[in-house]
Structure 1
Amino acid sequence: MTKKGVKYWVVDAFTDSAFKGNPAAVCLLEKEEDSKDEKWMQSIASEFNISETCYLTPIPNITTIPRFHLRWFTPLTEVILYFNIADTSQISAALGGGVSITDIKRTQIGGDLLVVVTSGTSVTELQPQVDAIVKCPGRGIIVSAIAPPGSGFDFYSRFFCPKTGINEDPVTGSAHCALALYWSNKLGKSDFNAYQASPRGGVLNVHLDEQNQRVLLRGKAVTVMEGCLLV
Structure 2
Amino acid sequence: MAKKPVKYCVVDAFADSAFKGNPAAVCFLEEERDDQWLQAVATEFNVPVTCYLTPITNSYHNRFRLRWFTHLNEVKLCGHATLAAAYALFWSGLVDTNIMIEFVTPNGLLTAKKIPPINITSVSDLHEFLIEIDLPAHPVMESNFDETSQISEALPGASIINIKRTQIGNDILVEVKCGKNVTEIQPQFDAIAKWPGRGVIISGIAPPGSGFDFYSRFFCPKDGVDEDHVCGSAHCALASYWSKKLGKCDFNAYQASPRGGVLNLHLDEQNQRVLLRGKAVMVMEGCILV
TM-score normalised according to structure 2 size:
0.50
User: C-alpha displacement at 1:142, in angstroms?
Assistant: 0.2
Kept in 2: contact 1:116–1:144 (CA 8 A): yes
Q: Deviations over 1:122-160 (max 9, x none)?
A: 101110001110111211000000001111100000000
Residue 153 of structure 2 is matched in structure 1 by 93
Structure 2 letter corresponding to 1:173: G
User: C-alpha displacement at 1:209, in angstroms?
Assistant: 1.1
Q: Secondary structure at the match of 1:86?
A: coil
Which of 111, 126, 149 matches 2:208? 149
Which of 256, 265, 281 matches 1:197? 256
Q: Secondary structure at the match of 1:185?
A: helix
1:141-180 mapped onto 2 (5 Å cutoff): 141-180=200-239
Kept in 1: contact 2:217–2:257 (CA 8 A): yes
Kept in 2: contact 1:120–1:156 (CA 8 A): yes
1:1-231 mapped onto 2 (5 Å cutoff): 82-84=142-144, 86-95=146-155, 97-211=156-270, 213-231=272-290
Query: Runs of 4+ in structure 1 displaced over 4 angstroms?
Result: none
Distance 1:212 1:126 in 2: 30
Q: Percent identity?
A: 76
Structure 2: tracts of 5 or more residues without a match: 1-140
CA 1:82–1:183: 2 relative to 1, 3 Å: closer
Structure 1 letter corresponding to 2:263: L
Q: Secondary structure at the match of 1:152?
A: coil
Q: Secondary structure at the match of 1:90?
A: helix
Kept in 2: contact 1:92–1:100 (CA 8 A): no
Higher relative contact order (CA 8 A, sep 6+): 2
Q: Deviations over 1:203-228 (max 9, x none)?
A: 00011013371001101111111112
Kept in 2: contact 1:142–1:158 (CA 8 A): yes
Over the aligned positions, Cα root-mean-square deviation in angstroms equals: 1.5
Residue 42 of structure 1 is matched in structure 2 by none
Kept in 2: contact 1:110–1:139 (CA 8 A): yes
Distance 2:271 2:244 in 1: 17
Kept in 2: contact 1:85–1:103 (CA 8 A): no
Distance 1:212 1:103 in 2: 21
Q: Secondary structure at the match of 2:254?
A: strand
Structure 2 letter corresponding to 1:116: E
Distance 1:118 1:163 in 2: 26
Larger Rg: 1
Q: How many residues align?
A: 150
Structure 2 letter corresponding to 1:226: E
Residue 53 of structure 1 is matched in structure 2 by none
Kept in 2: contact 1:119–1:148 (CA 8 A): yes
Q: Secondary structure at the match of 2:175?
A: strand
User: C-alpha displacement at 1:177, in angstroms?
Assistant: 0.3
Does 124-133 or 82-91 show the bigger shift? Answer: 82-91
